[in-house]
Amino acid sequence: MLDSQTLLRDRIEWLYLIMILGILFSLNLYSKYLDYLEFKNDILHETGATVINIYHKENQNILRLKTPNFEVFTSSKENLAQNDNIQITLITHDITFQDYLSGFLTKSFGIEKLDNNNFSISAFLSSQISAQHQNQTMSMLYNALFLAVPPSKELREFFNGYGMSHLIAISGYHLGVLSVIMYFIFNTLYSPIHQKYLPYRNKKYDILLVTIFILFCYLILIDLVASFLRSFIMFVFGVIMLRSNIKILSFETLFITVLFILTFFNEYIFSVSLWFSVAGVFYIFLFLTYYQNINKYLLFFLFNFWIYLAVNPITQYFFGAVSLYQLLSPFLSLVFTAFYPLSLLLHFVGFGDIFDSYILMWLDFKIPTIELFASLYFIIPYIALSIYAIWSVIAFRIVEASFVGFNLWLFITLLNFS
């Protein structure tokens, strides 16, 4: 059996790749900068937009809007709903190019609701999901799980309290479940056709190609969510490399994936969801690098706990919310492994509300949390050591000691506050 090869063989190939992607990155960034200059050309900018989410305040609402070129937050007293199409005038004063790429908050006026005459598959599926639930919170939860519709602030805070925010952000896990389901369905349907008419073709490769096409359609449907985009590109690379006998599960693959995403989607350099997704995959690869040869049952048990502890310092730097219930995160992740495909199937057959009463009881439970942010002076060395741990077992052990120490400090501090 041939040993798996690496994707790039030497520094010259790396240099060529980085030069090519660097040129494409610059061209795409310049194109976006021209769009920004056009946006800034007038103090008032009129544009069409779609309401992605609404955050309710005491006397007004904060709208999250998506326009053809950027995302924007603005306040409004208008009676609007998710997926509404509107015409709006934005004030462009003090908006920097970084703001333009990453999303910004600005004042607006002249909001006019437009007729939603254009058929949207995403809006149709969203309405089908919502129709199976009498409670708006449940509709919002499942729309987040299946269509990447941003959940409410309350839902986000609840799942942050359990350390489960990564489970309601569509990413690699969800892609894995969907690809397994599709592979099983297509294999069942295609096997008799392949055996009778196309025995000369590679059946597995044909099924993977169809799966890639369906996943690509889903990626477009959920509007190129950064974390799912990363997973999709890695999946495509994986299929190509598997056929070419190239090593799939490697840091090299992850790095090239990130380069491709940032080259063609410059704005994702500011996407927290992308970097969380990358961090999750990075620590999975790091874990497998040093623990792949241990007992498989022990590996299965240790995996979720190790990944949770390793990523938690980065999570605490961005979000800060900490609760003792976050210690349940590894167990809840295992439960979610069964819940996600089951709930997806139930929505397909029209029984998506079966778990609603139980989930609502769970959501009614108030989680005591405090804010405790990780220091940048800890995070930077931690990430640097984690990267160095790819080549150094000593660095790897220091990383493990660091995240164990960090999590002990985190929860001891929490107990002192209680």
Closest residue by Cα to residue 91 from 72, 68, 112: 72
Pairing of strands 104-105, 61-66: unpaired
Give pLDDT tens digits for 42-66.
899 999 998 888 887 777 788 999 9
Highest mean pLDDT among 15-24, 59-68, 158-167, 285-294 belongs to: 15-24
Cα–Cα distance between 27 and 21 in angstroms, integer? Answer: 10
Q: Does domain 42-113 have CATH number 1.10.260?
A: no
- pLDDT of amino acid 328: 86
**Residue 388 confidence (pLDDT) above 90:** yes
At position 318, the amino acid (one-letter code) is F
Cα–Cα distance between 339 and 334 in angstroms, integer? Answer: 9
**Residue 4 confidence (pLDDT) above 90:** no
Tokens matching residue 158 = 């609840």
**Residue 158 confidence (pLDDT) above 90:** no
Give pLDDT tens digits for 314-349.
989 988 888 888 888 888 888 888 899 999 999 999
In the chain the first and final C-alpha atoms are separated, in Å, by 58
Residue ranges covered by each domain of the chain: 42-113, 165-417
Higher pLDDT, 35 or 295: 35
Cα–Cα distance between 309 and 91 in angstroms, integer? Answer: 43
Angle among Cα 366, 372, 373 to the nearest 5 degrees reads 130
Question: pTM (2 decimals)?
Answer: 0.87
